[in-house]
Amino acid sequence: MSLDFPHIDPVALALGPIEIRWYALAYISGILLGWLYIRRLLRLYPEGERPHKYDIEDFMTWVILSIILGGRLGYILFYNVEYYIENPMHILRVWEGGMSFHGGFLGVCLAIIFFSLKNKIEIFRLADLLACAAPIGLFLGRLSNFINAELYGRVTDVPWGVVFPFAGDLARHPSQLYEAGLEGVLLFVILFVCSRIKDIRKRSGLLAVIFIEGYALSRFVVEFFREPDEHLGYLFGGLTMGQYLSIGMMLAASLLTVLVLVAHKNKHDKA
């Protein structure tokens, strides 16, 4: 028993030769909704402290560029560097797919650091705000992956398995929906609750740690159900590239936890 793929047109709107795809709308909507959500989160912090709403508006351009550039470069370096060395002009073909969350994540991290230093804003607080909003974009992005019938799961006999087009006749895990549920819905709820706890909010950086650990753990688990990239397959120990990158995120989150606690202690001692 299995489910038929719903066959949703990847093109949301066509205006002559111009096609607007659900994938692009997911990115745009995720950034817009994330910006609106951050504006609401700012109400939880003392009025007048930075970053304020105008800082967030200025930072949105940095976010867009860092997600696109980081995501694309991350995919090239982590997943298909040999192909792009042989076909360098294909690097610009973003519309054909090929974006890496881990690359986009690193890009946003660098943007947070440089923007905060440039504008004399507390880095960890800006990171917390972005972390709380990130699951919105992840949820929409994974839904668009499902619509595109890409990043599907491994062959399965579970009753909710889906027969994806261009993936053979066997049912597969809808791993995109697993990720939408874990990285999107569940992680958003966890961060929503934690952001309302004053003791967590006061320790700037802890919300970012929760996001990083939550995403990395979710991605690591879902990778057991997701079909690995054909040209990479399974790596050392039977793990996938996504799992190794997620392990790296967990280690980075552990280091960030130490930095956050040390920074909070120093701030408390000065007070």
Would you say residue 98 has pLDDT above 80?
Answer: no
Average model confidence (pLDDT) across the chain: 89
The single-letter code of the amino acid at 112 is I
Would you say residue 91 has pLDDT above 80?
Answer: no
Between 77-81, 96-100, 113-117, 238-242, the lowest mean confidence (pLDDT) is in 96-100
Residue-wise pLDDT for 19-77, tens only, equals 888 888 998 999 999 999 999 999 998 887 889 889 999 999 999 999 989 988 888 88
Between 81-90, 171-180, 190-199, 252-261, the lowest mean confidence (pLDDT) is in 81-90
Tell me which of 16 and 152 has the higher pLDDT: 152
Would you say residue 125 has pLDDT above 60?
Answer: yes
Give the pLDDT of residue 95.
62
Burial class (CB in 10 A: 0-12, 13-18, 19+), 167: middle
Please, which pLDDT band fits residue 202 given cuts at 50, 70 and 90?
A: confident
Give the pLDDT of residue 210.
96
The 3-state secondary structure of the chain reads CCEECCCCCCEEEEECCEEEEHHHHHHHHHHHHHHHHHHHHHHHCCCCCCCCHHHHHHHHHHHHHHHHHHHHHHHHHHHCHHHHHHCHHHHHCHHHCCCCHHHHHHHHHHHHHHHHHHHCCCHHHHHHHHHHHHHHHHHHHHHHHHHCCCCCECECCCCCCEECCCCCCCCECCHHHHHHHHHHHHHHHHHHHHHCCHHHHHCCCHHHHHHHHHHHHHHHHHCCCECCCCCCCCCHHHCCHHHHHHHHHHHHHHHHHHHHHHHHHHHHHHC
Give the pLDDT of residue 216.
96
153 contacts: CB under 8 Å, gap ≥ 6: 172, 173, 174, 175, 176, 178, 225, 226, 227
Would you say residue 260 has pLDDT above 90?
Answer: no
Strand partners, 21: 11
Contact 180/142 with Cβ under 8 angstroms? yes
Q: CA neighbours within 13 Å on the CB side: how many for 108? A: 24
Would you say residue 223 has pLDDT above 60?
Answer: yes
Please, which pLDDT band fits residue 85 given cuts at 50, 70 and 90?
A: confident
Please, which pLDDT band fits residue 96 given cuts at 50, 70 and 90?
A: low
Give the pLDDT of residue 87.
80
Tokens 């230093």 — which residue? 117
Kindly give the interhelix angle for 206-222 and 241-270, rounded to the nearest 10 degrees: 170
Contact 12/21 with Cβ under 8 angstroms? yes
